[in-house]
Amino acid sequence: MSLILGIESTCDETAAAVVRDGWDVRSNVVSSQVDLHAKYRGVVPEIASRAHIENILPVIREAVQTAGCSLSDIDAIAVAHRPGLVGSLLIGVTAAKTLAWTLGKPLVGVDHVQAHLYSVMLEKNEPPPMPAVGLVCSGGHTALYAINSWTDITLIGSTIDDAVGEAYDKVAAILGLGYPGGPIIDRLAAEGSPKAIDFPRSRLGRDSLDFSFSGVKTSVLYHVRGFQGRERPLELTDQTLRDIAASFQQACIDVIVEKLKRALTQTGGRSILIGGGVSANRGLRAALESRMNVPVFVPPLAYCTDNAAMSAGLAHVLLAAGRTSELDLDAITLSELKR
């Protein structure tokens, strides 16, 4: 049996969780900073790090208390140490190192994006057939992975510009809706016509597994404000908003389905796993359910957006494989990872 405390502070959620045996979530505490960043319509790094400092200890304390254990019962400390905003990452990494050192317990550094893929295991403990194709789609990432096992995950494609969640957030801003835009567009799309407007689908090269979402976003902008702002702006009635949301969402889904099919063909994948904030999208879930010919594994809704349970879960596998970290574990940003 293993009881792992996970810590997450990669972006704008401060989170801690206690997970038993890699799937049984005993507690999952997430302190969201959405309200702090909403007026800027995006995450402000300096505000995020300050909020992490204030929240990290109360969040960890609550996670341990809710799990009904004490720190001395914990077998290892897991922390998402890459990729993310450096000032935010450092808060979680420092808290995790300090706890590991003072408690004399192993430290396990976890890749946040790989942890999003692992979130399909939480609560259900239903291992997907491997090799699998994984898709992480969130505000910061849109990336495809070939997964041979939980300790053998290779990046096979990623966005060359905006992440899909970022495109949702920007389209919501263009339409004058709130932040984060994903859930709002999801709701409107359910009542609109996906065929109302033929927004572009960027498929890139014939075999490409990369994504591009800035074209569809710009296309929504021109549709609403007129080409380069020269024509009369569109009148945004309730039905127009629903139709734009549904048509934009359909363009994103069609591209994602196409790329997943290509990835299955190229890797011989036997299942699909999705994770990240956009994996909560109802239209995407329904499309994958009906259009893919292998089983599709999605996380329980609570674990789609950023959380620490997914890191604690993945750490169980890493710990069993002897992949622990030293106390000089670094916080690594996305641009450093790509170097």
> Which parts of this chain interact with ligand KG4 (CB under 6 A)?
11, 138-140, 165, 168-169, 180-183, 186, 276-278, 280-281, 305-306
Nearer to ligand KG4, 138 or 202 (CB): 138
CA separation for the pair 160, 139 (Å, rounded)? 14
Tokens 């809710």 found at: 66
CA separation for the pair 202, 206 (Å, rounded)? 11
- Provide the minimum distance between the beta carbon of 293 and Zn ion in the complex, in angstroms, as a whole number: 28
Nearer to ligand KG4, 42 or 131 (CB): 42
Q: Which does 8 bind (CB under 5 to 8 A by kind): Zn ion, ligand KG4, none?
A: none
Residues contacting 149, CB < 8 A, separation 6+: 130
Q: Which does 168 bind (CB under 5 to 8 A by kind): Zn ion, ligand KG4, none?
A: ligand KG4
CA 259 to the chain's CA centroid: 18
Q: Which does 280 bind (CB under 5 to 8 A by kind): ligand KG4, Zn ion, none?
A: ligand KG4
Nearer to Zn ion, 301 or 327 (CB): 301
Nearer to ligand KG4, 109 or 299 (CB): 299
Nearer to ligand KG4, 92 or 139 (CB): 139
- Residue 137: which of 119, 123, 122 has the closest Cα? 119
Q: Where are the alpha helices (DSSP H) in 67-210?
A: 86-103, 112-118, 164-174, 181-189
Chosen residue from 9, 14, 33, 138 binding Zn ion by CB under 5 A: 138
CA separation for the pair 192, 187 (Å, rounded)? 9
Question: How does 110-125 read in b/e, with b if 16+ C-beta sit within 10 Å?
Answer: bbbbbbbbbbbbbbee
- Provide the minimum distance between the beta carbon of 306 and Zn ion in the complex, in angstroms, as a whole number: 4
CA separation for the pair 192, 189 (Å, rounded)? 5
Q: Which does 181 bind (CB under 5 to 8 A by kind): ligand KG4, Zn ion, none?
A: ligand KG4
CA dihedral 159→294→310→100, nearest 10 degrees, is: -90
- Provide the minimum distance between the beta carbon of 313 and Zn ion in the complex, in angstroms, as a whole number: 14
**Which residues on adjacent β-strands are paired with residue 82?**
111
DSSP strand pairing (142-149 vs 152-158): antiparallel
Stretch that binds Zn ion, among 134-142, 177-185, 197-205, 285-293 (CB under 5 A): 134-142
Q: Which does 299 bind (CB under 5 to 8 A by kind): ligand KG4, Zn ion, none?
A: none
CA separation for the pair 139, 119 (Å, rounded)? 17
Nearer to ligand KG4, 180 or 192 (CB): 180
Nearer to ligand KG4, 131 or 183 (CB): 183
Query: Is position 8 an interface residue for Zn ion (rule: CB under 5 A)?
Result: no
Burial tier of 206 (Cβ tally within 10 Å: 0-12, 13-18, 19+): exposed
Stretch that binds Zn ion, among 58-66, 216-224, 267-275, 300-308 (CB under 5 A): 300-308
- Residue 238: which of 277, 158, 184, 182 has the closest Cα? 184
User: What DSSP string runs through 215-263?
Assistant: HHHHHHHHHHH-GGG-SPPPP--HHHHHHHHHHHHHHHHHHHHHHHHHH
Query: Is position 306 an interface residue for Zn ion (rule: CB under 5 A)?
Result: yes
- Provide the minimum distance between the beta carbon of 14 and ligand KG4 in the complex, in angstroms, as a whole number: 13
Stretch that binds Zn ion, among 94-102, 155-163, 304-312, 331-339 (CB under 5 A): 304-312
Q: Which does 281 bind (CB under 5 to 8 A by kind): Zn ion, ligand KG4, none?
A: ligand KG4
- Provide the minimum distance between the beta carbon of 114 and ligand KG4 in the complex, in angstroms, as a whole number: 13
Nearer to ligand KG4, 6 or 140 (CB): 140
Q: Which residues here bind Zn ion, judged by CB under 5 A?
A: 138, 306
